[in-house]
Amino acid sequence: MPEKPKLLSWRDIVFVALPSLLLAIGAFWLAAQFIKPAPSERLIVSTGGEGGAYQRFAARYKDVLARYEITLEEKPSAGSDENLARLRNPDFAVDAAFIQGGAARPAEEDGLVSLGDIYYEPLWIFYREAAVHGGDKVLDLKGKRVAVGGAGSGTNNLAKELLAANGIDAKNTSLIAVGGLGLAERLQKNEIDAVFVVGPTQSALVWTLLYTPGVRLMSLTHAEAYTRRFPYLARLVLPRGAIDLTQDIPPRDIQLVSPMASLLVREDTHPALLDLLMQAASEVHGAPGVFQKPGEFPRAGHGEFPLSKEAERYYKSGKPFLQRYLPFWAATLIDRMVVMLVPLLAVLIPLFKFAPQIYGWRVRSRIYRRYGELKFLENEINENPGRHSRTEWIEKLDAIEADASRIRTPLTFSDMLYTLRGHIDLVRDMILRRTPG
């Protein structure tokens, strides 16, 4: 039974496709060396003391990230100093940490970047009316018993800087390194005379002290001077009655100074997780407050640490494009695949262009080879027709024709094969004319 004609030559296709496939696999492997792995399903954040503002905000972040099936794991700490030490320790498992502005300085090659300022973190100085006279200058606390925040906390660092600027230190004043909700009770019991507290208005300790009888909030006469001396501080005004209009708290405008709370992250934290952190920060800190306008935070700020690329992009363009329309997992997958597609397309587009040409060249080359044999035979006949008898010339031509008839040619190229056979007949006619019978 004669062989059924085929549209394609599978042998030639395999010859072309196999190297192309190996080349595509090589490009895929090369791209895989540059693609980041899928983001972890867990994000570890170092916060602060038990019941503090950092912990409360971390709990709200946790609710936001849970919607994207990311688990936020919180690790309490003594404050900014410990948070920074954790981030810099490669053996400590942590991705991000809350840091009080001015409490940390970048070090060479520490691999830390900022996600920007997330809210005002005012410094509140409360004092017992019976113990402190004047009460509008830090200098009024000289010689008193002053709680300056727990050791290693941002409050402790800031309190000591402001006290030192006023010539106050442990030699002339009793500085007590303690913080927490118990300070309100110690003030009432006359165990301490004043406390330094750093935190948002909603802080439990701040709220408690604002309503504690016999305790007043210091309005800093030198607030503007402090902001010039310490550039990381901003001057704020707490308007009269802003806390409670009914009870007129505070009873007058209060001048405060405030560092900014920020989020520091390790540079190698997965970009997709940083995008989620930025979205969580916008949701948690974007609402209006006593000191801030709607949407004022988070913001790029001017902190000591460089701004991460993801945060910079977020402040310019907002939520990543794919995450606006797709679930987080799908957006992340596509984002990672784009990295793979670029080198693949760089290889596949030329392959799609040249592979058909290579395939056609392989099929045509078999026919061209027989044309070469036919042309060689024709030249021999023209140069010396008597070299062989007619029968011998015909036998040589028949061998070429038989060889040509065995060529496996796809239907697409069958016209070339028929043309070859027509040229074989022309040579046969020439043999009959040029040789004796």
Q: Rounded to an integer, what is the distance from CA 159 to the centroid of its chain?
A: 36
Distant-in-sequence contacts of 426-435, Cβ < 8 A, 24+ apart: 427/374, 427/377, 427/378, 427/381, 427/397, 428/394, 428/397, 430/378, 430/381, 431/381, 431/390, 431/393, 431/394, 431/397, 432/390, 434/381, 434/382, 434/385, 435/381, 435/385, 435/386, 435/389, 435/390, 435/393
User: Is CATH 3.40.190.10 the classification given to domain 36-118+261-319?
Assistant: yes
pLDDT tens digits, residue range 228-253? Answer: 999 999 999 999 999 999 999 999 99
E strand intervals along 199-244: 215-217, 234-238
Tell whether the model's pLDDT for residue 2 goes beyond 60: no
Beta-carbon count within 10 A of 252 CB: 11
pLDDT tens digits, residue range 88-137? Answer: 999 999 999 999 988 778 887 788 999 999 999 999 999 999 999 888 99
Name 120's bridge partners: 260
Classify 239 as helix, strand or coil. coil
Name 119's bridge partners: 261
pLDDT tens digits, residue range 272-331? Answer: 899 999 999 999 999 998 999 999 999 997 778 999 999 999 999 888 777 777 777 666
Higher pLDDT, 278 or 26: 278
User: Taking all residues of the chain, what is their mean pLDDT, rounded to a whole number?
Assistant: 85
Q: Judging by beta carbons within 10 Å of its beta carbon (0-12, 13-18, 19+), is residue 357 exposed, middle or buried?
A: exposed
pLDDT at 50: 81
Domain with CATH 3.40.190.10 in the chain: 36-118+261-319, 122-258
Supply 44's token pair: 């570890």
- The answer to whether 261 and 98 have CB atoms below 8 angstroms apart is yes
Q: What percent of the chain has pLDDT over 90?
A: 49
Between the CA of residue 305 and those of 262, 267, 268, what are the distances in Å?
10, 11, 15
Q: What confidence tier does 359 reach under pLDDT thresholds 50, 70, 90?
A: low
Q: What percent of the chain has pLDDT over 70?
A: 84
Tell whether the model's pLDDT for residue 20 goes beyond 80: no
- Does the N-terminal peptide bond of residue 250 adopt cis geometry, omega within 30 degrees of 0? yes
> In the CATH scheme, what architecture does the domain 122-258 have?
3-Layer(aba) Sandwich (3.40)
pLDDT tens digits, residue range 137-188? Answer: 999 999 999 999 988 888 999 999 999 999 999 999 999 999 888 999 999 9
Q: What confidence tier does 84 reach under pLDDT thresholds 50, 70, 90?
A: very high
